[in-house]
Amino acid sequence: MVLGQTLAQITMKAVIILSAGHGKRMKSALPKVLHKVAGKPMLQWVLDAVKILNAEQVIVVTSPELERHEILKNTDVVVQAVPLGTGDALKLGVQKLKSNVDKVFLLCADTPLLDHQDIKNLEYSKADLTVIGMQLNDLSKSYGRIECNNEGYPVSIKETKHNENVKNISIGNAGVYAFKVKMLQDLLPHLEINSESGEVYATDLVKLASAKKYTTELMLADEENFLGVNTLVELSQAEQIMQRRIKTQHMLNGVQFLLPDTSYVNYDAKIGAGTIIEQSVHIGENVHIAQNAKILSFSYLSSCTIESAASIGPFAHLRGNVVVEEHASIGNFVEVKGSTISKNAKAKHLSYIGDATVGEGANIGAGTITCNYNGFEKFKTHIGKNVMIGANSTLVAPVIISDGAYIAAGSVITEDVSPDSLAISRTQQQEKNAWALSFRAKYSKKLS
């Protein structure tokens, strides 16, 4: 053994994640563990949490419908065709273990709030069986309860759905365990089918281990980290907790949320210090916001990069690989899709910019639309530096508006525009003197 080598470093570890339940209480066609929290599937949260263990093997026991899902591509998959309880699923998972594995960690796929440190702490347990428990403040909750002996070691886990009297025990079962493989191989054949439910419970291993004098250990952790999601109500609760965690971390890094409870931030958002996020902002997937930007109320962002000191909103919608460069401004009711807005450019009001490049210093007037789709193909619009697009203009792609050009308000532009020129495309204005007087008189007489 290398001097100073720890038990955790020399033990060969495997993780078994239970993911085979039907999730009927979700009342959703989507498998339960694929429901997202902060934009990431619950199962992926668990897979990411256990990476801290650097396990030799990650085994997911799942249903036939998820057997070939992309999310499981880097795991060993075991199918539990008929869900017969956690004990049966654990037996299937153990059969898949590599021969050199000494220690197994058991978790459930519907616990997206797992804390990495709790998992890391579990790694260092030396007992044959270690279970994470939660100090419950509300004894009415339906968590199973961990019964300990006088020395504080777990001797059994009792399910409240079979015995309401155990709710006076204040230590709840988090559903996360560490087992030594030799003990598992000895005890798993002795698990019995519960006469009431017809299922086999992994929790019964604690009683078996205690009876056969295997060592057990209890580790306490925060109840919030082990919230199990079985309904859409609980999914909403998990989302609220995760949103609080994500935004708290951003605020500690220097991002200001004016009313954080009103905004949504995806798990992968990157936001620089000094940025201000106003109320009711949605920051979706693949959003990068640099320092000192401003995102105003009711804006919706996804797949976009906002560079430093840019301003977005209010009521702006950015999507589909948008780049807004330094000091650029996207304003009220402006939608930008698949476009680059260069430095100091502005689109302040009521416009759609799709599949376009907008040059440095350009100004997009209110009501401007880039017509990028003909029903079959999409085309590009290129707007040069310091271009002025008049209000209510329509730019029919493919089209190039060269540097310094002006587009007269109300124009429909179908051809390229030369540098520093004025393009006008509209009918000549006519005026009929006193027309309104005769028109009103006609209708007054008709309606009298």
pLDDT on residue 140: 85
- In 255-345, DSSP assigns E strands to 256-257, 264-265, 270-271, 276-277, 282-283, 287-289, 294-295, 300-301, 304-306, 311-312, 317-319, 322-324, 329-332, 335-337, 340-341
Over residues 349-370, the pLDDT tens digits come to 999 999 999 999 999 999 999 9
Q: Are 386 and 403 in contact (CB under 8 A)?
A: yes
Max alpha carbon distance in the chain (Å)? 108
Record the pTM: 0.90
Q: Are 338 and 323 in contact (CB under 8 A)?
A: no
Cα–Cα distance for residue pair 280/275, rounded to 1 Å: 15
As beta bridge partners, residue 356 has: 381
Q: Which two tokens stand for residue 319?
A: 């999507």
Annotated active-site residue in 116, 282, 349, 382: 349
pLDDT on residue 9: 52
Of 13, 64, 21, 68, residue with least CA distance to 42 = 21
Q: Which two tokens stand for residue 72?
A: 């499981």
Give the CATH class of 232-423: mainly beta
What letter does residue 306 receive in the DSSP assignment? E
Residue ranges of the chain that CATH labels 2.160.10.10:
232-423
Residue ranges of the chain that CATH labels 3.90.550.10:
7-226
pLDDT on residue 71: 96
pLDDT on residue 2: 43
pLDDT on residue 162: 67
Over residues 413-448, the pLDDT tens digits come to 999 999 999 999 988 888 999 999 998 899 888 877
Is the bond into 398 cis (omega within 30 degrees of 0)? yes
Q: Are 45 and 112 in contact (CB under 8 A)?
A: yes
Cα–Cα distance for residue pair 277/178, rounded to 1 Å: 42
Active site residue 190: no
Cα–Cα distance for residue pair 150/209, rounded to 1 Å: 17
Over residues 76-122, the pLDDT tens digits come to 999 998 889 999 999 999 999 999 999 999 999 999 999 999 999 99
Helix (H) or strand (E) holding 309: none
Q: Are 128 and 214 in contact (CB under 8 A)?
A: yes
pLDDT on residue 83: 85
Low-confidence ranges of the chain (pLDDT < 50): 1-5, 7-8
- Tell me, which fold does domain 7-226 have in CATH? Spore Coat Polysaccharide Biosynthesis Protein SpsA; Chain A (3.90.550)
How distant is the alpha carbon of residue 420 from its chain centre? 47
pLDDT on residue 217: 97
Helix, strand, coil % (nearest 5) of the chain?
25, 30, 45
pLDDT on residue 7: 47
pLDDT on residue 21: 78
